[in-house]
Structure 1
Amino acid sequence: MNRCLLFLTLLLITTAAHSAACLIESNDDQVPIRLCQQNINIPPQLFQDSFCQPQITERSFDIQFVDACPEGAYGICTGARSEGVAYRQSIHYYSEPGDAPVLKAYCEQFSDGQWQLPEIHSDKDQ
């Protein structure tokens, strides 16, 4: 019984650690950027301290840590990884739907991810 409780507790902790996401939104006067990174298997501290910290010169961002990426993305790169690391995340894109062809190609060719169109929920589904 104790082993079962320990296993369930560890399973819940592991699931919680991998369910973190960060919503990244530009807060400057340049072209708006809005995306969300959903952690798959990145250690939580590394995810927060490195992966969720965009380094784009002359740009500034607001970063909000959330349990899951919000609905409304026009495309999602699932299982994306950065060059040289095995960690994976899903990246949800919200800014400019016209960028989808370029982001899809980058997702599949360079990030080793799979491009997905999000499910669209209509009022009838609710």
Structure 2
Amino acid sequence: MAELWQELQVSYRNGSISKKDTVLYKKWRKALKSLSEDPQYPGLRAHEISSLSARYGMKVWQSYLENNNSEARRMFWVYGPNRRDITIIELDPHSESRKNGAYNRVELSKFAKIMYC
């Protein structure tokens, strides 16, 4: 996740970013800012995904990057590894239905602390 963030950031800053990636970068940057200030900020709609928490042995949270969009993305995160840290472990299109096992298809990255700049 850190590598993706850095690639988007560099591309955005040097003007070589695509239109689609610009949208992703701006929405992700805004979500990270809100998350860093208040993980329970209402616009993020943060909530625990219990099936992922059970699978990975730690509370896994999901927050919105966007909503009301057929390609709406969600950000999955955990607290840690250190006190007051939040680690982004996945960006994924919204899993449409829990009934169909959509969260079973979500693969979370390893702890790779992302730094928001």
Higher helix share: 2
User: Max radius of gyration: which structure?
Assistant: 1
More strand by share: 1
TM-score normalised to structure 2 length: 0.31
TM-score, reference length from structure 1: 0.29
